[in-house]
Amino acid sequence: MTKHIARVLAAVLLSIWAYGAHAGDVIRSFNADILVREDGVLDVTETIKVNADGTDIQHGIYRDFPQYVTTPGGTRYKVSFEILSVTRNGEDEPWEATDTDLGTKFTSVIRFSSFRPSTTPTRSAI
């Protein structure tokens, strides 16, 4: 009986370990470096480290930026931004920006055929 319980326990632990080893796409870290310039302009660099095999992230990484801001006094105004570059592991990455009713949707397109499973891609948007 003890051997049977040990075998069942070993099978359960092996299953849990195997599931964790193939858990799919995971964002490992997200970092935003923000510089406020003297003229009030913000320079923002976002860096995302992703383990990606195409399981969950299939169409890219999306970021939504609001185009309208409302002040505490109720004044609503439009803000603008400019994407300077998008890179993956230091190489230029294709991207697109689309205006929506709520703001601008920024999409960094992922080409999973170019990923190597042993690497952790690092993406930066400036």
Count of structural domains, the chain: 1
Residue 86 located in a structural domain: yes
First vs last C-alpha separation in the chain: 62
Cβ-contact 119, 90 below 8 angstroms: no
Residue 53 located in a structural domain: yes
Residue 2 located in a structural domain: no
What's the confidence (pLDDT) of residue 2?
61
Residue 73 located in a structural domain: yes
Residue 118 has pLDDT above 50, yes or no: no
Average pLDDT over residues 44-69: 75
Residue 87 located in a structural domain: yes
Residue 110 located in a structural domain: yes
Q: 26 pairs with which residues across the strands?
A: 51
- The structure tokens listed for 75 are 């004044």
- Residues 6 or more apart from 8 whose CB is under 8 A from it? none
Residue 10 located in a structural domain: no
Average pLDDT over residues 116-125: 46
Residue 79 located in a structural domain: yes
Range of the domain at 62: 24-125
What pTM value is reported for the model?
0.57
